[in-house]
Structures are given as C-alpha cells and as structure tokens.
Amino acid sequence: MKPVIFIDGREGTTGLQIYDRLTPRQDIELLLIDEEKRKDPAERKKCLNAADLVFLCLPDEAAREAVAMIDNPNTRVIDASTAHRTAPGWDYGFPELSPHHRARIACSKRVANPGCHASGFIASVYPLVQLGLIPPDHPLCAYSLTGYSGGGKKLIAEYQDPHRDPRHASARIYGTNLRHKHLPEMQKISGLAHTPMFVPVVCGLAAPPVFHPILGDYIQGMATTVLLRNDTLPGRPTAQEIHQALSSYYAGQTFVSVAPFGGDEPVIYSDTLVGTNQLRLIVCGHEAQTTVTALFDNLGKGASGAAVQNMNLMLGFAETAGLE
C-alpha cells in the first residue's frame, strides 16, 4: 500500500509548496481535509492519526497542539515550525550534516525541519566546528538576505500591494532585538557554546566588516553569510584552507555543494537557486578574512524541499524523489 500523507496547514506558504511537490507523485496517497473542516479539532485529529506521515505547517503553538492530538504510535511527523527544533526526542532534519544525522532521520518518528536562516548558517558552521577550525566558544557574526516570501501570505501581500510603503524598495533589517527565533537551533545544532550575533535582512544590503554589495527587491531566494577573522581561529587558516575543508566535507552530496573558491562568478545573486532543493556554499576571502555564504531557496532547501527530502528518507524512498 502507498503511504498516506497528511499536510496540516496546507493553506500556508510552506504547506502549499509541499502539496505542489507531492501532488504529481504516484508513490504516495495524499489525505485531504474538507475545506470547511480544516479548523475542526476532531476532523484534524482523525486525519493526523490516519496518516503514515504528517507534515505540520503551523504556528509553533498549533504545532505543539497537533502533536498532542496524535495517538497513533505509527504516525511519523515532520514539523516545519520552530516548536521542536531543539526539543528532546526530535531529530534535526538536515541529513547532509553527517551520516549520523541521515541515519537518525531515516528511522525517526519525529523530525524537526530546519529553519531557513538556520539552514544556511548551520551548513557553513557545523562542519568547521566538527573539524576544529572554529572552536565551540568562538564568537560569530552572520547576516542573511531573504526574499519576502519567508514572511508568509501576509508579508507577501504587503510587498506586492501596488500601494505598499515605498520604503519596501530598500533594505529592511529586522530582528534588531537580536533574539531571532532561529538562534537557539543555530547555536545548538552547530555545537556552539555561545549564541551567534545575527541580524536577518529582507531584500537588500547589510554592511558587516567584510562587505558584499547586494541589490534586489524579490520574492524568493536566500544568501546567509558567516564572517570570519582568520587570525582569531585555531591555526589561522586561510580562506582557501577553509574552502578546501568544506569542499571535502560535503564531497559527494547531492543537494549541498561547494562552489570553486571565490564563487562561480564575482557576485552572488541570492535568487540563483530558486525552485530547487540545492544549497551551495561560496567561500571568499584571503589570508586575513573569510566569508562563507550559503546560497539556496528559502522555500526550497530552507523549507518545503528539505521537508520532502526528509519524508523520502523516513519512508524509504530515493532521497532525491520529486526534488531537483
């Protein structure tokens, strides 16, 4: 029998993307809830327990409530919210981080899908911590450029409104309280002793010590950049040595790759990988400074693509099924 899949929260940005990715597939059966009953707790509980695997595309508290509704011990869950990313009993859904991560996901009943900003940061930092190039207690700074789709339907409508605030055409820095909701997973999964300093940016420009000029007012695509002063790292590695370390670490991966040193071209466009489940690391710099930029689709490897990849592993399908 085909495994039965239920998407709780199919109407949201991530839920719709997962639905669109799964609809053409013939190896699963999608369980759909009647539109008028989608907020009915009894009907939702029925669907949650009837499915072999559930995607939760909900606000954090609603995701916790949905998990509490599941009585079926065989129902497996992928939570796309922030609710369970650092919770005990949940596996972090980033299989490329290590063979251990991939094996845990494959046998897991509860998988937390990574956050979009966190995906880029962790893809860059986790290997360098594991390899001893970044100490766990090293203070880190990062910035992340994103299309406005990450803010969901409300922010998309706000940006696409012909009478929108004219300031939306410029860079918009948010998370200025330095308590962005992805910070706990960025610290825990990367293996850092301290929370990284992190300010996300919408559609525009950030000016950290190592400066990349960025242009664009766009819906989708993400570039998350980690900034390193090489003389503060053990052994003072050069940017080329950091590039080689990351290239070796991710060698052979399908969805995570490392560009030639300095990138594929002298500039980085944050929407380059839109529509794919690819994440590409770009290492730039010299003897004294290094930047590592993770380039990916915030709705792809940063959300729905990663969720489908995790589903494939959990259900024993080819990891690449339905993904580019």
d(CA 174, CA 191): 25
Q: Give the tokens for residue 268.
A: 């980085």
* Residues 267/313, Cβ–Cβ less than 8 Å: no
Query: Is the CB of residue 118 less than 8 Å from the CB of residue 186?
Result: yes
The closest of 299, 250, 247, 252 to 276, measured between CA atoms, is 299
The answer to whether residues 302 and 120 touch, using CB atoms and an 8 Å cutoff, is yes
Q: Which residues are catalytic?
A: 116
Is 56 within 8 Å of 87 (Cβ atoms)?
no
Q: Could you tell me which residues come within 8 angstroms of residue 54 by beta carbon, excluding any fewer than 6 positions away?
A: 5, 6, 7, 8, 48, 66, 70, 75, 76, 77, 78
Give me the DSSP letters along 12-57.
SHHHHHHHHHHTT-SSSEEE---GGGTT-HHHHHHHHHH-SEEEE-
Residue 319 near residue 312 (C-beta atoms within 8 A): yes
Residues 6+ positions from 122 with CB-CB distance below 8 Å: 94, 97, 114, 185, 186, 189, 190
Pseudo-torsion of CA 218, 222, 223, 224, nearest 10°? 130
CA–CA separation, 303 and 324 (whole Å): 14
